[in-house]
Amino acid sequence: MSSRRSRSNQQSSTSRITDDQIADLISKLQQLIPELRGRRFNKVSASKVLQETCNYIRNLHREVDDLSDRLSELLASTEADSEQAAIIRSLLM
Amino acid sequence: MPPPSSLKQEFLKKWMMGLHICSSSKKNMSILERKKAIKLSADIALASARNGTTCWSQAIIVNASQDDQDKILVQHVLGRESERLMKKGSVLPLTSNKRIRSRKILRRSCGSIRRRARKTIATSPPKVVAISIAKKLIRKRTQLLKRLVPGGKFIMDEISLIEETLDYIISLQAQVDVMRSLANAS
């Protein structure tokens, strides 16, 4: 009887520790995402944080893609007056 | 917390290295080829800044090594570490040392569970319903996140997934900052 009680106590205290760990990690995530950063003192739900995280990562991927496009076009530019192309070209290639 | 400048510098250094290698191996590239070279070098540079200490960085390295041409770039940028990191089994699959939660993300739902859940929802008090909907949303979004983070499908527990995501986002922010400054340098 007593062993059962102590086992269930142990189980609930360990899962409470992992709950806290996860809540802590989710709040760290919240602070990284610009959309949610200002709302630190209002509790944002975990599922909202995850949703915004996915959106944010997708946006970052898209931005890297756009920037790669821009950089490759800049490098292809053969305009005589395009100074930035010359700078970038000398830096990159 | 903005990405540390040490990370940006490491990324920039490795990225330049990669681009020099790409351009020296192929003289007249089309715009599309150049874009792919820029993007690939950027991703490999980002992964090498973590030197295989994270699941996402190793996944990028392993994926790039699948292609013969890209593999050469990986070997040059990563140097001595590349052989070890290109071996798939060394870090992946990744499980946290911490207790794996019993409320699992990867539960397969079959028709009977869904039917049972619908019945439970119909007969339960609203608070319980709200909690179970929230759990479903979290499960669904966690699956989405696993697909977005490289190597995410090898990560078994929530805690490791969130830690990997945190590191991956900081690295992506560094990558975007450096690439944007270069593109705007005029």
Residue A52, domain CATH: 4.10.280
Task: Specify the pLDDT at position B103.
Answer: 42
Most confidently modeled range among A72-76, B69-73, B88-92, B141-145: B141-145
Q: What is the DSSP letter of B156?
A: -
Task: Specify the pLDDT at position A58.
Answer: 96
Task: Specify the pLDDT at position B89.
Answer: 57
C-beta atoms surrounding A23 within 10 Å: 12
C-beta atoms surrounding B135 within 10 Å: 13
Contact criterion met (CB below 8 Å) for B158 and B107: no
Q: By C-alpha distance, which of A77, A86, A57 is closest to B34?
A: A77
B130 reaches A (C-beta below 8 A):
no
B101 reaches A (C-beta below 8 A):
yes
Task: Specify the pLDDT at position B92.
Answer: 54
Q: By C-alpha distance, which of B135, B94, B99 is closest to A20?
A: B99
Please tell me which of the candidates B158, B169, B179 has its beta carbon nearest to residue A67: B179
What is the residue-averaged pLDDT of chain B?
81
Residue identified by tokens 């800049």 is A74
Inspect the interface and report whether the beta carbons of A87 and B180 lie closer than 8 Å.
no
Task: Specify the pLDDT at position B176.
Answer: 95
Q: Which residues of A touch B1 (CB under 8 A)?
A: 31-32
Q: For B90-122, how does the pLDDT look when each residue is reduced to its tens digit (9 = 90+)?
A: 555 554 444 444 444 445 444 555 666 666 666
Q: Which structural domain, as residue segments, surrounds residue A11?
A: 2-92
Mean pLDDT, residues B118-144? 83
Q: Which residues of A touch B20 (CB under 8 A)?
A: 92-93
Inspect the interface and report whether the beta carbons of A18 and B98 lie closer than 8 Å.
yes
Residue B117 exposure: Cα atoms within 13 Å on the Cβ side: 13
Q: For B46-73, how does the pLDDT look when each residue is reduced to its tens digit (9 = 90+)?
A: 999 998 789 999 999 999 988 888 888 8
Q: What is the pTM of this model?
A: 0.78
Residues 37-56 of B with CB under 8 A from A: 38-39, 42
Q: For B168-182, how does the pLDDT look when each residue is reduced to its tens digit (9 = 90+)?
A: 999 999 999 999 988
B16 reaches A (C-beta below 8 A):
yes
Task: Specify the pLDDT at position A41.
Answer: 67
Q: By C-alpha distance, which of B159, B183, B178, B169 is closest to B1?
A: B169
Please tell me which of the candidates B31, B99, B162 has its beta carbon nearest to residue A76: B31
Contact criterion met (CB below 8 Å) for B39 and A64: yes
User: A40: distance to nearest CA of chain B, Å?
Assistant: 14
Q: By C-alpha distance, which of A29, A38, A12, A87 is closest to B161?
A: A29
Residue B27 has pLDDT above 80, yes or no: no
Q: Domain count of chain A? A: 1
Task: Specify the pLDDT at position B109.
Answer: 46
By mean pLDDT, which of A69-73, B23-27, B107-111 is the weakest? B107-111
Query: Which pLDDT band holds residue A67 (cuts at 50, 70, 90)?
Result: very high
Query: Which pLDDT band holds residue A46 (cuts at 50, 70, 90)?
Result: confident
A44 reaches B (C-beta below 8 A):
no
d(CA B8, CA B98): 31
Q: Which two tokens stand for residue B82?
A: 């590349």
Contact criterion met (CB below 8 Å) for B158 and B101: yes
B31 reaches A (C-beta below 8 A):
yes
User: A76: distance to nearest CA of chain B, Å?
Assistant: 7
SS3 B27: coil
